[in-house]
A and B are shown apart, each in its own frame.
Chain A
């Protein structure tokens, strides 16, 4: 009986929160404007799904954020490798990365729209500009941390120096690189949404800002629920991908402690 409650527990909290929302919103303590009932919000989501609006907006937002994320992943890993393998790359990129990392790069959005206009390209570029940094730093840390003896063993067994990067360094660095990617994904979503809100138009960000301008509070809340669900699913997918790719890792072997 105790075990069953332990498994149900996560759902209980969420259901409790949902119930609390519905009750609180119905109680009259707040206006429907401030907090529309959960049932109203869910109805709105259903209507948007039926009319196709939901899929169009969600699809666009995810398309931009994920494309930006993918570009960041490739660029970040390549640049990270370059920094560890090449003296010049290290000298040139290290200050740029360490100074750029803590900056709120979203501040550059107006510059990006000035240069690239108001279409997908600028939204995706903004995402790339932000999301690439954690990937680069994770890749640098990961490749620098590859044990010397792994590289020596590979060479000892006949690997040529040119083969080491692909055959030893990359797999050895993968766990930490994946962690960097797992940090970059939420960043891609956050920044993508902000870019959409600023530039308006189609996409969940644009739809939510429009809703707020029209005082359409169910619309605003619907957007929050939709993007929260999408974000949750994406993070879960990444965690699943990590478990698959890193099945050999000690963390996968050890039983999870509660």
Chain B
């Protein structure tokens, strides 16, 4: 495979990774089995599968939140290390610091980077405005709606200029209308400044709408069942109605359906 510059450098390489959860009480659970995947720079890849298939687990392994016990994960050639701002993460339930205002949340990563104060404020402000939260800089998360919280979380993660975005069902906790709006906004942001995105979801339409490649995962223990290319004209505002879109959704849904049934 080749990236946009013609070279064959993969940014993220997942090689035969397996992961077992060992809870303090209860039995061990094999969440991922022998998963391999390669992601090029600035690619938008969806991890799609039924609940429990381990897609979030894979995300957490790439993010460095869980240790890689079997197999290997390499980021730009080097083995994956502890969590850090190069792999920005966005969670389903926002994980905003409730005791900090929106501004303070967005500034957190910038403080950790050691930027001078004025630079922190400038960058924080620009990202807050970019996600459409101008005027809410001093609000606390508990005063914000779900959609606004997710925008704040996105601004916080983007502000540290990560090399890639790890998104764990980021719109799952939002109502259908907000979710639609957020999907469009994410797409717009990505098209303006493309960055690598690994997007975990169980929603086939969302995966087809947003990503260039969809990795379909099997039910637990998770394996990569298939990788489907999605080449669509995303500038089309009526993309949902296009036959190509429907066909793609169908194709992928057929792959997912039997896994979803197994996961019941």
Residues in A lying within 8 Å of B, measured CB to CB: 147, 149-150, 152-159, 168, 171-172, 174, 247-250, 252-253
How many B residues face the partner with a CB closer than 8 A?
28
A-B pairs with beta carbons under 8 A, tally: 68
Binds A, one of B44-52, B87-95, B249-257: B87-95
Do A158 and B99 contact each other (CB < 8 Å), given the known contacts A149-B93, A249-B142?
A: no
**Are A157 and B109 in touch, CB under 8 angstroms?**
yes
Residues in B lying within 8 Å of A, measured CB to CB: 63, 65, 82-85, 87-89, 91, 93, 95, 97-101, 108-109, 112-113, 140-143, 156-157, 160
Q: How far is the CB of B256 from chain A (nearest CB, A)?
A: 26
**Are A174 and B143 in touch, CB under 8 angstroms?**
no
Pick the residue among B63, B65, B100, B160 that contacts A158 (CB under 8 A). B160
List, in ascending order, chain B residues with CB within 8 A of A156's CB. 63, 83-85, 87-89, 157
**Are B142 and A248 in touch, CB under 8 angstroms?**
yes
List, in ascending order, chain A residues with CB within 8 A of B95's CB. 147, 149-150, 152-153
Do A157 and B85 contact each other (CB < 8 Å), given the known contacts A248-B142, A249-B142, A253-B143?
A: yes
List, in ascending order, chain A residues with CB within 8 A of B63's CB. 152, 156
**Are B85 and A158 in touch, CB under 8 angstroms?**
yes
Do A150 and B65 contact each other (CB < 8 Å), given the known contacts A156-B89, A157-B109, A157-B112?
A: no
Count chain B CB atoms within 10 A of each CB in A149, A171, A253 and give the residue with the most.
Answer: A149
List, in ascending order, chain B residues with CB within 8 A of A153's CB. 89, 91, 95, 97, 156
A65 to B99, CA, bound (A): 31
Pull 26 A–B residue pairs with CB atoms less than 8 Å apart, ordered by A. A147-B95, A152-B65, A152-B89, A152-B91, A152-B95, A153-B89, A153-B95, A154-B108, A155-B83, A155-B84, A156-B63, A156-B85, A156-B89, A156-B157, A157-B156, A158-B85, A158-B109, A158-B112, A172-B99, A174-B99, A247-B140, A248-B99, A248-B140, A249-B142, A250-B98, A253-B140
A247 to B138, CA, bound (A): 13
Q: How far is the CB of B70 from chain A (nearest CB, A)?
A: 22
| Closest Cβ neighbor of B112 among chain A residues | A158
Q: How far is the CB of A224 from chain B (nearest CB, A)?
A: 40
A157 to B87, CA, bound (A): 9
A152 to B153, CA, bound (A): 13
List, in ascending order, chain B residues with CB within 8 A of A171's CB. 97, 99
List, in ascending order, chain B residues with CB within 8 A of A154's CB. 97, 108
Do A248 and B98 contact each other (CB < 8 Å), given the known contacts A156-B63, A157-B109, A158-B85?
A: yes
